[in-house]
Amino acid sequence: MYREIINDLIKWKDSLRRKPLLLTGVRQCGKTYIVNEFGKNHFNNIVYLNFEESENAGAIFDYDFDVNRIIGEIERHEGKEIIPGDTLLFLDEIQNCPRAITSLKYFCENMKELHVVCAGSLLGIAIKREQVSFPVGKVNRLELYPMSFKEFVIASGRKELIETLSNWQIDRPVPDLYLVPMKKLLKEYYIIGGMPEAVQTWVDTHNYSEVEEVHKEILRDYADDFSKHAPLSDVPKIRWIWDSVPVQLAKENNKFVFSHVKQGKRSAELEDALQWLTDAGMISQLYLAEKPELPLSGFAGKTYFKVYMSDIGLLRTKSQISPETILNETDLYIRYKGAFAENYVLNELRSIGKEPYFWRSGNTAEVDFIYEDHESVMPVEVKAADNTQAKSYKQFCKKYEPAFGFKISEKNIGSNICEQTKTISLPHCLVWNMDYYIQ
């Protein structure tokens, strides 16, 4: 299946400042698949070493960090020759071999001509747990997310819709010829999500029950990771937080409240468990930035935040919302529909390289997302339906006068002036193309 990160991998391959590449991402989001595809299509040879499958592979790194010795032993272990410039060396599940992580420094310094890619799902956790000597400044990094909506559309065999809409002009409403199938695909995406196995199952079977079985297997695997990789004392806390995410998302202002995780529990008792889930990539935290000044990270508070799931399909299954509820949009679904829309937009923003925050002014106004764009701050208001009245968005634009902003809803494409801000209205199914409209 097509993944846009392949373009970043090609750029890395040809970069003059190339270093060993560390590819991170939540478990089962497709890291192994995409690196193997990259290796097959852009190198004459690929040597693959998996530290989870081969218990003996880690011993190669035990003795010293002489990269020539290491390469020689990998060649004997795999029965393949490694030729710099011709071979891709792929070290998978590298979190299981801390010394292999440390060795990347020596590959960078002593064998820079060799292309080395490392992938790891629980790398942040492993570094903290094992106190790994991380090769700061000696690696390039990329993060792979679950498949975006754009990638889902392409996997569903509707690439022509993406090609048609990628340069659609803002002053022309999108006709139903394109908008209706895109909206249908988005509902399917809410049900299926972007985990590659779930998407492939949908493409192969078009059976929601089969997809749900894949989701349940992934969720069980994640739960097994809690027991396998987290400190024993944190395992029940991680489970409490993990189970509370859908419920907290559906609250009125969806601020994450520790006391709602487990009655009587305080933040100090649960913070490490929350961080474990974040480091594992299973959830993401969206922080409050009360002052939308640059850099936003400098004005973000770490005590007021929201929590979202990395994949909307897993969120749907974990929330026990049936496919029919999403397809038919029953009235009883309205609260979760708003939560799903926010979670979807956040994941789409991250997939196109944004690092969003949210803005709130006391208890009177809130903008769902703000992010840095060149030398300005971009506000993004998300509505689950076609009502785009947004007093908070208007208040933000009046106070801070951003050049551009977005309203995401079920309305068709268009633009207007809100205070001094050019506001672009986009349907949910075109969030992937946001950057096109502010060029």
Same domain, 368 and 255: yes
pTM score: 0.95
For the stretch 165-198, pLDDT in tens is 999 999 999 999 999 999 999 999 999 999 999 9
Statement to judge: residues 64 and 10 lie in one domain: yes
- Residues 395, 283: one domain? yes
Query: What is the distance between the alpha carbons of residues 407 and 53, in angstroms, rounded to a whole number?
Result: 47
Residue 428 DSSP class: G
pLDDT at 67: 97
**Per-residue pLDDT reduced to its tens digit, 278-337:** 999 999 999 999 899 999 999 998 889 999 999 999 999 999 999 999 999 887 788 789
Residues 288 and 366 in one domain: yes
pLDDT at residue 390 in the model: 82
- 138 and 185 both lie in a single domain: no
Residue 379 in this model has a pLDDT that exceeds 80: yes
**Dist CA 272 CA 275 (whole Å):** 5
Residue 251: per-residue pLDDT: 83
Give the pLDDT confidence score for residue 61 in this predicted structure: 95
In the predicted model, is pLDDT for residue 274 greater than 80? yes
Pick 430 or 333 by higher pLDDT: 430
Q: Are residues 206 and 350 in the same domain?
A: yes
Residue type, 345: V
Each residue of 111-142: pLDDT tens digit?
999 999 999 888 878 766 655 678 889 999 99
The amino acid occupying position 338 is G
* Position 220 pLDDT exceeds 60: yes
Pair (48, 178) in one structural domain? no
Residue 387, pLDDT score: 76
Predicted local distance difference test score (pLDDT) of residue 332: 77
pLDDT(104) > 90: yes
Same domain, 204 and 101: no
Q: What is the pLDDT of residue 124?
A: 73
Calculate the CA 290 to chain-centre distance: 24
Q: Are residues 189 and 203 in the same domain?
A: yes
User: What pLDDT score does 122 carry?
Assistant: 85
User: What are 139's two structure tokens?
Assistant: 């690696």
Between these two residues, 388 and 19, which has the higher pLDDT value? 19
* Spatial distance between the Cα atoms of 360 and 370, rounded to a whole number of angstroms: 10
What pLDDT is attached to residue 429?
98
Q: What pairs with residue 291 in β-bridges? A: none
Q: Does position 437 have pLDDT exceeding 90, yes or no? A: yes
The mean pLDDT value of the chain amounts to: 93
Q: Which of 121, 143, 165 is the last residue of a domain?
A: 143
Residues 383 and 342 grouped into a single domain: yes
- Residue 229's pLDDT is what? 87
Among the candidates 108, 143, 178, a domain finishes at 143
pLDDT recorded at residue 403: 92
> Is the peptide bond preceding residue 175 cis, with omega within 30 degrees of 0?
no
**Residue 42: domain span:** 5-143
End residue of a domain, out of 116, 143, 170: 143
Helix (H, G, I), strand (E, B) or coil at 387: coil
User: How many domains, in total, are found in the chain?
Assistant: 2
- What CATH number does residue 113 fall under? 3.40.50.300
Give percent of the chain with pLDDT exceeding 90. 80
State residue 419's pLDDT score: 85
Dump the DSSP string for 264-326. Answer: T--HHHHHHHHHHHHHTTSEEEEEEESS--SSGGGGEEEEEEEEEES-HHHHHHHTT--HHHH
207 and 97 housed in the same domain: no
pLDDT at 374 over 90: no
> What pLDDT, on the 0 to 100 scale, is given for residue 129?
63
Where does the pLDDT of residue 54 fall: very low under 50, low under 70, confident under 90, or very high at 90 and above? confident
| pLDDT value of residue 152 | 98
76 and 111 share one domain: yes
Residue 132, pLDDT score: 67
